[in-house]
Amino acid sequence: MSAYHPLTEEEAIDLARTIPGHFTEQARLSCREIGDGNLNLVFQVTDESSAQSIIIKQAVPYAKVVGESWPLSLNRARIERQALEIQHRLCPDLVPKVYAYSDELAYTIMEDLSEYTIMRKGLIDGMSYPRFAEHIGRFLARTLFYTSDLGMNQQEKKELAGRFVNPDLCKITEDLIFEDPYRHSANNNFPDRIADEAEALRNDLPLQFEVALLREKFLTHGQALLHGDLHTGSVFVTPESTKVIDPEFAYFGPMGFDIGAVIGNLLLNYAAQPGWNGNGEELSTRQARLLDMAAEVWNRFEAEFRELWDKDLVDEMAKTPGYQDYYLRQVLRDAVGYAGCKMIRRIVGLAHVADIDQIQDERIRETAQRQALAIGKRLVRHHRNVNSAEDLLQLVYQTTPEKEVSL
């Protein structure tokens, strides 16, 4: 294998045999392509006798969701692999291990997580993940603190940031999250039943002002190395364990973007719950659990981040009294705003979420869409006034499926 080409299943098997310590020479290996994402090929290679397996992920030079008319740089595979290596070093129990890679062929060979469940599916099924907020809070705190000017030498950080310039993937985020939902765009995708909501977004100038502020931070505020696409489809879970995958959107940006992505996706599932459980008591239990989890994600992150700051801070000026509180308040406000942006784009933009789109009852699905938009808009509008996780929850409580309730 030399110049780039999409791997075949036979080539994936040959690659798997080269990984030391995984398969014997006599192993009967099978392979299947299991990728269901928008950007990559994903091969699972399995020893049929022992069931031991590995994953080979290969980037393709275009967005699969659109086709070859949307070209993408293969350099994103290198970015993803290096992000995984950094994240695994900082949180070895929360990130799959990388076994091998080829930048030329744009593939990474890594730990298989088949025994885990994709968190989005688990939440749709009503599963409870009592340790998720603890785990993701620690992941966020460690990966963001130790790649920021707070936790690493500032000159070394600048050098590292240069290796994570990611224009193609950032362009996707800039368009799909911060622009398309507020314009007439061929990328937008929504049913006629909520065309009024899409029109309202295009005409809501005060909302667009807040989105412009958040977009400007995304474009210019290189606080730390972000995962860049940290939704519940990028997290594998069991009730006791969490693994974060797919950081191909990694770049240096505002910390709140990653935190907001997690919270926004939990709130999308919250809005979708009536479509998956009609039982009043069970529905209330699940929704309360999701809101508690969203708040706990922030609270766990904040507690861990403050501990790292107090223990490993390298920036002398950041020791100034009051600065830590100010810094984290800004991160929280960013997170709330980005959570809202994420929710809005998942309803009217190009790529939706199964939590809502797979609700069978059209009426309930429409209610969930409107509820998600109401929450998202409220978070964006009021993100600059939030001071605590409780304030975040109050913004959610102040929405209804039909309309927003004024403060």
Domain residue limits, the chain: 9-111, 117-397
pLDDT tens digit string along 189-212?
999 999 999 999 999 999 999 999
Q: What CATH architecture does domain 9-111 belong to?
A: 2-Layer Sandwich (3.30)
| Per-residue pLDDT, 68 | 67
| Per-residue pLDDT, 19 | 94
Rounded to whole angstroms, the Cα distance separating 367 from 246 reads 31
Rounded to whole angstroms, the Cα distance separating 48 from 235 reads 26
pLDDT < 50 regions, the chain? 402-407
Domain 9-111 identical in fold to domain 117-397 = no
| Per-residue pLDDT, 319 | 98
Rounded to whole angstroms, the Cα distance separating 190 from 49 reads 47
| Per-residue pLDDT, 406 | 37
Considering the entire predicted model, what is its pTM?
0.95
What dotted CATH number matches 117-397?
Answer: 3.90.1200.10
| Per-residue pLDDT, 186 | 95
